Amino acid sequence: MAPQAIISQLIGLLLLPVFCLGAVFEDFRELPRQDYDFIVIGGGTAGNVVANRLSEDSKISVLVLEAGGSNEGIFESTVPGLYYQLPGSRVDWNYTALSGPGNLTFPYTRGFVLGGSSSINWMAYTRGSSDDWDRYAALTRDPGWSWDNMQTFIRMNEHFTQPSDRHDTTGEFDPSAHGFYGINSVSLSGYRHKFEDLLIKASQADGSEFPFVLDYNAGNQLGIGWAQSTILNGMRSSSATSYLGPDFIGRPNLHVLLHSHVTHVLPTHSKSTSFHTVEFSQDDGATLHTVNATKEIVLCSGTIGTPQLLMNSGIGDSDALVTLGIQPLIHLPSVGQNLTEQPTIAYPWVVNDSDSDLDGVITSNATLVEAFTRKWNDSRTGPFVDPPITAFGWFRLPDSSPIFERFADPSAGPNTAHVEWAVLNSGLVIPFNSTNKSVSLSPIVVSPASRGSITLTSSDPFDHPIINLNLLSSDFDIYALREGLRNITRFIETNVDIFDGFLVSSGISRDINVTTATDEELEAYIRKNVGITLHIVGTAGMSPKGASWGVVDPDLRVKGAKGLRVVDASVFPRVPAGHTMSPTYLIAERGAHLIKTSWDLDGVQDEDEA
């Protein structure tokens, strides 16, 4: 044990009557114990919720093992407007994903830092529709996942706050749909750009074909509305800053060990399906350490990390595991399957420079970045108090669409979008070089029909798995993107009186004119230019107890195993029609509740008390 570790432990003993201070550790030798009631693998979006809720019972000890480092002091993670500097940096796992057929690859970002992807994402707060949650209840045969029942967990998670500019938010959201006493902060934008103002104006115009929705998080999401984001007073609110914030991290029964890459969960003996030991390394596998969970191991490593860890530990398709030289323990062929990503097409519009207050940020205008950063530093004002998305639209294909003669509707129901319109005020997604300033209004298929997979290339837990997004493998997804592009174009062109003088021309007009292009031309354009949204889910999906498919039961226990649960974005059996962070927080709040209930821990919330 390092001398300074001994000294710090002695100080802890002298200052507190308890055996040790709750703390964040860097080195396993500092860890005060080798067994805990619960071990949480991955201190990400979901993992920190689970750690917080389980450690509410002071008799229970909880350890979080996180592969990445601390989020403290990472300035670009704190300033919402610097979101674009995070992918590809030291806080990114730097995965590469295959698009599927064709040879496109994408850098696929995941958070490698405490807070996981909530420390590096775009902060959009979208819960999906009421239909989405009711479908989870139906698919898993557990009414506990229904929209009505999830209201308790929404309230436990959400702390709705004033935006940093303290503007009057009347008419911008529905207060009755929000929680004001939860842990993670949410707010409306604190800086108004011209684009979202015009967009909302157009949606509110008399007889608009694309109407305004007061609050897309209230169950029925359809329409155009103001964005809500996980932000507190102009700063990112992540699971690390909130669920492991100052009010909680001092709990003596909660320990976090950073720089700890978990390699395997180990059974109690070689043929057992009961898991109590977690193996990890702090030096890329040169030295392995173990810790034991006396109650449960909770996998919270995300849609890539969780199926990878399960397969490396012998839980997956047995034949495939044998081929890789991994001893199979539990045959669960659904592990890694049903991966779902939401495809998009970047649709930028050139804006009239003399009329714009915009960015230039992504095109690396260092002068502007510095000016906006100074403004943020000095007064928490200016464009950097917000993430890139400041308004949304959510729309369905009409029931009469010919595509439904060939495909069952992949959406969860009539309140639920097939296509999202995402408003971006910076030119991040601009697909051509241009010095012109731009905004974008891009379609995303939020209820896609294509499915991909995560598979291993070897038995080495440090090798990246194959992430096959399999985008556009269903014609439904192409159809929805095509109609999304057409509707966005029509929306702007029919509101020319509102947008005129600001939106000058469509950014993709150099390659294609959306208004005049044939179906085939648009399809070819979409195939060539398809983009990703980083919303993968589904690789350890929930299914009913006893089902022949799926990875976890509705209480999130791994099928056929003892002592193992999965609580993260991999358990969604279908992708919610929205961005996936808030739904993951909700899975984690209920997941923690289920664990606490089964072990009869203190502080179990009554599910009916919304």
Ligand X SMILES: *[C@@H]1O[C@H](CO)[C@@H](O)[C@H](O)[C@H]1NC(C)=O
Ligand Y SMILES: Cc1cc2nc3c(=O)[nH]c(=O)nc-3n(C[C@H](O)[C@H](O)[C@H](O)COP(=O)(O)OP(=O)(O)OC[C@H]3O[C@@H](n4cnc5c(N)ncnc54)[C@H](O)[C@@H]3O)c2cc1C
Identity of the residue, 97 or 202, whose beta carbon is nearer to ligand Y in the bound complex: 97
Asked if 106 contacts 97 with a C-beta cutoff of 8 angstroms, the reply is: yes
User: Could you give the string, one character per residue 429-468, with x where binding to ligand Y holds by CB under 6 A and - elsewhere?
Assistant: ----------------------------------------
158 binds ligand Y (CB under 6 A): no
Spell out the residues 6+ positions from residue 223 whose beta carbon is closer than 8 angstroms to its own.
Answer: 203, 210, 211, 212, 213, 216, 393, 394
| Token reading at 159 | 């702390």
Options 21, 137, 262, 481; binder of ligand Y; rule CB under 6 A:
262
Size of the chain in residues: 610
Catalytic residue among 259, 264, 418, 579: 579
Q: Is 262 annotated as a binding residue?
A: yes
120 binds ligand Y (CB under 6 A): yes
Identity of the residue, 145 or 160, whose beta carbon is nearer to ligand X in the bound complex: 145
Q: Is 113 annotated as a binding residue?
A: yes
Options 22, 42, 225, 316; binder of ligand Y; rule CB under 6 A:
42
Q: Is 167 a catalytic residue?
A: no
Strand order of the sheet with strand 95-98?
105-108, 95-98, 466-468, 453-455
> How many CB atoms neighbour CB 555 within 10 A?
17
| Tokens 């369905």 sit on residue | 396
Asked if 264 contacts 309 with a C-beta cutoff of 8 angstroms, the reply is: yes
Least separation in angstroms between CB 18 and ligand X:
21
Asked if 526 contacts 475 with a C-beta cutoff of 8 angstroms, the reply is: no
- From ligand Y, ligand X, none, which one binds at residue 365 (CB under 5 to 8 Å depending on kind)? ligand X
Residues 453-492 that bind ligand X (CB under 6 A): 483-484, 487
| Token reading at 356 | 């714009």
Options 55, 118, 411, 425; binder of ligand Y; rule CB under 6 A:
118
DSSP 373-438: HHHHHHHS-SGGGS-SEEEEEEE---TT-GGGGTS---SSSTT--SEEEEEESSGGG--S--SS-E
User: Helices 581-598 and 147-157, interaxial angle, to 10°?
Assistant: 100
Spell out the residues 6+ positions from residue 119 whose beta carbon is closer than 8 angstroms to its own.
Answer: 71, 74, 77, 91, 111, 113, 236, 238, 239, 240
Residues 320-379 that bind ligand X (CB under 6 A): 334, 337-338, 350, 352, 354-355, 360, 365, 367-368, 370, 373-374, 377
Q: Parallel, antiparallel, or unpaired: how do β-strands 330-331 and 348-351 relate? A: unpaired
69 binds ligand Y (CB under 6 A): no
CB under 6 A: which stretch of 10-18, 122-130, 344-352, 407-415 binds ligand Y?
122-130
Round to whole Å and give the CA distance between 194 and 171: 18
CB under 6 A: which stretch of 31-39, 303-311, 410-418, 421-429 binds ligand Y?
303-311
25 binds ligand Y (CB under 6 A): no
Round to whole Å and give the CA distance between 483 and 488: 9
Identity of the residue, 188 or 335, whose beta carbon is nearer to ligand X in the bound complex: 335
Query: Nearest 10 degrees: CA dihedral of 79, 80, 82, 87?
Result: 120
Residues 305-364 that bind ligand Y (CB under 6 A): 305, 309
Per DSSP, 543 falls in state -
| Token reading at 383 | 């464009």
- From ligand X, ligand Y, none, which one binds at residue 305 (CB under 5 to 8 Å depending on kind)? ligand Y
549 binds ligand X (CB under 6 A): yes
User: Could you give the string, one character per residue 436-455, with x where binding to ligand X holds by CB under 6 A and - elsewhere?
Assistant: x-------------------
Helix (H, G, I), strand (E, B) or coil at 272: coil
> How many CB atoms neighbour CB 287 within 10 A?
10
User: Could you give the string, one character per residue 143-182, with x where binding to ligand X holds by CB under 6 A and - elsewhere?
Assistant: ----------------------------------------
Q: How far is CA 349 from the centre of its chain?
A: 27
Strand order of the sheet with strand 438-445?
223-226, 389-395, 419-424, 438-445, 348-351, 503-506
Q: Is 535 a catalytic residue?
A: yes
Least separation in angstroms between CB 518 and ligand Y:
33
- From ligand Y, ligand X, none, which one binds at residue 103 (CB under 5 to 8 Å depending on kind)? ligand X
Residues 84-123 that bind ligand X (CB under 6 A): 88-90, 92-94, 102-103, 112
Least separation in angstroms between CB 574 and ligand Y:
14
Asked if 563 contacts 274 with a C-beta cutoff of 8 angstroms, the reply is: yes
Identity of the residue, 474 or 580, whose beta carbon is nearer to ligand Y in the bound complex: 580
CB under 6 A: which stretch of 119-127, 317-325, 509-517, 593-601 binds ligand Y?
119-127
Query: Nearest 10 degrees: CA dihedral of 281, 283, 288, 290?
Result: -40
Residues with catalytic roles: 535, 579
Binding-site positions for FAD read: 113, 262
Query: Which chain residues interact with ligand Y by CB under 6 A?
Result: 41-47, 65-68, 87, 109-112, 116-118, 120-124, 126, 260-262, 300-303, 305, 309, 534-535, 568-569, 579-582, 584
Interaction site with ligand X (CB under 6 A): 34-35, 75, 88-90, 92-94, 102-103, 112, 209, 268, 276-277, 292, 334, 337-338, 350, 352, 354-355, 360, 365, 367-368, 370, 373-374, 377, 395-398, 418-419, 432-433, 436, 483-484, 487, 501, 504-506, 509, 513, 515-516, 541, 549, 573-574
